[in-house]
Chain A
């Protein structure tokens, strides 16, 4: 995974964060991510992220569950082992509705949670850098990605001018790796940092 340079600004109020996000984008800097302690409605739109399609996936999983229950019970009761229960029809759809419904919900819920974990790359023993441990407490952290042409000083000054309380420069691995939070794992060579 690539090691990159980031200019990281801490904000203490979402009222300041929102215009800051807009100004940073207008200026043309690349926002790597904004880390927040709670969901902030509208921040995704302000950052220009597209809407998630997770609910569509949930719908598809649900349909899959309905079809699984329906086709399996149909096969069992009409083909594999028809049971004569008081002369009632083998194809007894109304009596199957409860199980078809339950499997719809089950497939949809399990599928969506697994998809969520996959998309966000969340799993036990996964470790990620998130720049500032206070971003899960009370700080809104904006990380701006730098390339060779970005002037670090300029970005720092700009972040301060739009209201960031503290600004720092950090070298970070962008993805995730298998690791534990109780151990300091150095995933990239320190020399890389020196050479950058």
Chain B
């Protein structure tokens, strides 16, 4: 068979099994076209129940006021902002996979990018809830937008990092949504043309916007994806940088550090990849997509986890060093008394953070562990717990002891409604993900077809033959080229 493109044998295949274009459509569309399994229903119902609990928790907060939470002086930010930063961070892996890896021409992106981008969108949706409801009078939330109003007009403060955050998060959500959906159009058209049922023809006919697969449209589509990737790359870095500015531009010991932007971005990618692993390990198993999300994909993502985890570890140590080196007694107190000291009220949280984020991921230096699905799954959960505690440590340990010992707070613990709000966003996230995995293809069909003849297992085998046979011809052509 003639080969379109050649790829070295050193790289393992990205699509396993004997596939052709039609088989790819079949495999990826099957879960969408089949009735959902029992497992899907169980997961979906649990998610919806969690979501309802969250809605009730938020309802109490809106009706009775922010006193439903255990925030106090001096702890003005507690679980809410911790959860906000955690969710935004999780979102970052999706954009990294779809945008940055597109610019770097990483073929393995194609197997995981669709689900990861969906994860980004759902995570940002969850994140946005927290600052909005933290405002207390949520019905006035639109005050953050600069619109001509009857109060002056009184504008928002464009010099404030909190407003930068409004712009960053809303832009991030919009761009991620556009990027995701424009990539979905061709695959929805595939579903439309395969559809046998009437409602499916209607639904996918509307959602695919009348996509035909015309060459000119593909040319524009490629240009669009490339430029959107180019825009999303600095955007994703800017978003968590700006989130870190919420802290770094203040003068609170423990927050007032220049290392925050890179440290937050690395942490975001770290936790985001862990969440991608959690989702995809389940997805590939339940939807039988092991041929497309192979062990190679899992291993590559584990390598990213160990890399970004190490960056986060270095950042932790650098912070401690700078606190010591600065000789500012407030800095030293914030780091060595309020955090590192295991006997301090939140010493346990710091120890948990250190072990989950720095210690345990070291297991991924071993290839066997990187390729072990059970280890990977547990590690992905551990990393996300660790990253949640990182944000908790940064927020709570920095503000629970003020400059004045007289205003040192009593021990901060959340109320059931604060926890309920968090559980509610987990419910929202998984409800969205379950619906997505039922109604949309979880793998980019067109992109997998695009790499099939380069990275498909059955094509790579033939390349091996070509590699050996063509040596003389190759040498002849290239060494005697005049």
Report A's interface with B, CB cutoff 8 A: 13-15, 33-41, 43-44, 47, 49, 51-52, 54-55, 58, 62, 72-73, 76-77, 80-81, 83, 85, 92, 95-96, 98-99, 101-103, 105-106, 108-110, 112-113, 116-117, 119-128, 130, 133-138, 176, 180-182
Contacts and interface: CB of A to CB of B under 8 A. Distances in A.
B209 A123 contact: yes
* Interface size bracket, B side: 35 or more
A133 B192 CA distance: 9
Contacts of B178: 109-110, 113
Contacts of A116: 182, 220-221, 224
B310 to A, nearest CB: 28
Given A38-B186, A136-B186, A92 B227 contact: no
Contacts of B25: 37, 137-138
Interface in B135-175: 146, 152-155, 157-159, 161, 163-164, 167-168, 171, 174-175
Contact of A182 (B158, B201, B227): B201
Kindly list the 3 A-B residue pairs having the minimum CB-CB distance in the complex, ordered from nearest. Answer: A181-B205, A126-B210, A138-B21
Interface stretch (B228-236, B354-362, B404-412, B419-427): B228-236
A127 B227 CA distance: 27
Contact of B204 (A98, A120, A123, A181): A181
A43 B175 CA distance: 29
B194 interface: yes
Nearest to B167: A102
A81 to B, nearest CB: 6
A52 B190 CA distance: 24
B197 to A, nearest CB: 9
A128 B223 contact: no
A37 B215 contact: no
B215 A47 contact: yes
Given A124-B207, A176-B210, A37 B21 contact: yes
B216 interface: yes
B224 A180 contact: no
Between B2, B207, B214, the greatest number of chain A beta carbons within 10 A of the residue's beta carbon is seen for: B214
A117 B219 contact: no
Given A81-B155, A112-B228, A39 B450 contact: yes
Contacts of A113: 178, 182, 224, 228
Contacts of B192: 136, 181
Contacts, number: 206
28 contacts: A38-B21, A43-B215, A52-B223, A55-B226, A72-B146, A80-B153, A81-B153, A98-B161, A98-B167, A99-B158, A99-B167, A103-B167, A105-B175, A106-B174, A109-B178, A112-B224, A113-B178, A116-B182, A117-B209, A122-B211, A124-B206, A125-B206, A135-B213, A136-B189, A137-B21, A137-B190, A176-B210, A180-B201
A141 B89 CA distance: 44
A123 B210 contact: yes
Given A113-B224, A138-B22, A108 B231 contact: yes
B227 A58 contact: yes
B167 A49 contact: no
B159 A92 contact: yes
Contacts of B449: 37-38
Interface of B: 2, 4, 20-22, 25, 146, 152-155, 157-159, 161, 163-164, 167-168, 171, 174-175, 178-179, 182, 185-186, 189-190, 192-195, 198-199, 201-202, 204-207, 209-224, 226-228, 231-232, 234-235, 238, 242, 245, 446-447, 449-450
A147 B385 CA distance: 67
A39 B222 contact: yes
B243 to A, nearest CB: 11
A49 B158 CA distance: 46
B220 A119 contact: yes
Given A52-B223, A102-B235, 4 more contacts: A33-B212, A41-B222, A99-B158, A120-B220
B300 to A, nearest CB: 23
Contacts of B193: 133-137
Contacts of A77: 158-159
A47 B219 CA distance: 12
A49 B218 contact: no
A124 B190 CA distance: 16
Contact of A76 (B22, B155, B215): B155
Nearest to B198: A182
A15 B186 CA distance: 22
Contact of A36 (B198, B199, B206, B213): B213
